[in-house]
Every structure is written in structure tokens, then in C-alpha cells.
Structure 1
Amino acid sequence: MGYENGGKIGKLADKEGLRLKEGGVELELLREEEFEEFVKGEEMVRRKGK
């Protein structure tokens, strides 16, 4: 997806009050299935102490 498109998705989601998945789909940068495949929330956060 890349840094630039990720930024577009984030900006739209913030502006419109959307979830990131909804922003990506609305911008036609990815399908819902692709979002689920590429974005792993559990890998984006770290537990305290690890």
C-alpha cells in the first residue's frame, strides 16, 4: 500500500470519522479482504513490559 496511500487513508478516516478499513475501501485503494490480510492490529501494538 505504501506510506503515501496509508496517509491518505488515515487522513480521510480522521476527517470523516471512519475506520481505516472504511477509508481504504472508500478511496478504492484496497478491498475489505485485502485490509484484513495486510493490517494486523495485534502486530501494531506492544504489551507493556515486552
Structure 2
Amino acid sequence: MTETKKNTAPQKNADEKLKSDDKQARLAEALRANLRRRKAQARDRRDTGSK
């Protein structure tokens, strides 16, 4: 029997890692923006409710 091994180029793995890192950075920024928006909404509700 002959075994075949996949030829994975290091460049391809590096490109996938960069894409993954970019995606993680975008998701992290989206989560921070969402948290800021939710905090602002909570402050507005709190301030509006106390008047």
C-alpha cells in the first residue's frame, strides 16, 4: 500500500492564521461596540426613569 500525504504549504497555513486573527479582531471590536451601546442604553433608561 502506498500512503499519500497532503502537501500543505506553510504559506497557506500562515494565510489562514492571518484570516483567523483578522476575524477574531473584528469580532472583538464588534463585541466592544455592542457593550458600549448597551451600556449607553442602560444609562438612558436609568436617567429617563428617575425624572
With normalisation by structure 2, the TM-score equals: 0.31
Rg larger for: 2
Q: Flag the structure with higher helix content.
A: 2
Q: Which has the higher contact order (CA 8 A, sep 6+)?
A: 1
